[in-house]
Amino acid sequence: MKKLFLLRHAKSSWDDQVARDFDRPLNDKGKRAAATIGTFVKRENLTFDLVLASPAVRVIETLEHFEEACGLAIEPQWDRRIYLASSVTLIDVLRGANDEAESVLMVGHNPGLEDLVFDLVPDDGSSAARDEVETKYPTAAFAELSLAVEKWEDVADNCGSLDRFTRPRDLDPSLGPKYN
């Protein structure tokens, strides 16, 4: 059994004039949301053997605020394939993970992360958390999955269960959409 954690980057700023989407930084709300999820991870005593992350600026900044709040030393493997990747590409990235890693944190973007949950977790009506993901996988949301595989190369459709789905607004209502 492998554990997969998925963290969508926090809210980015559309006010900054950047030449490329790749270079968009976080806004203040995004910084707070990333730290809030990091505090949650610390409180829940979660750890990661491997971190796979998109090298986009908003992911780098998300991890900076997340790491400071959770107190873990995060040393991501930056993988350009994760930037705006489809679920199929994300599964390929996971299949290449070192099998010594029992728990992997993947940090990236939507719609790929959302679609990855849909591909890995069967839609059999038994997961309220999956239903929440269907409603929306907002920025800085954090998913915890259990995968019924012994090796990362065996990751396949419907091999997992969604154990938990946590949004920043679940932890701090001021991070919800009505508080822009």
Task: Return binding residues for substrate.
Answer: 58
The DSSP annotation for 11-42 comes to: PBPSSS--SSGGG--B-HHHHHHHHHHHHHHH
Partner residues linked to 50 by β-bridges: 104
Token representation of residue 17: 């004039």
Instruction: Give the pairing of strands 50-53 and 103-108.
Output: parallel
Give the annotated binding-site residues. Answer: 58
Phi (first) and psi of residue 78, to 5 degrees: -75, 130
CA–CA distances in Å: residue 42 to residues 29, 47, 67, 69, 83: 20, 8, 10, 8, 26
Question: What gap in Å lies between CA 172 and CA 33, rounded to an integer?
Answer: 8
Token representation of residue 57: 């600026």
- Strand stretches in the chain, DSSP E: 2-8, 50-53, 77-78, 103-108, 142-147, 160-166
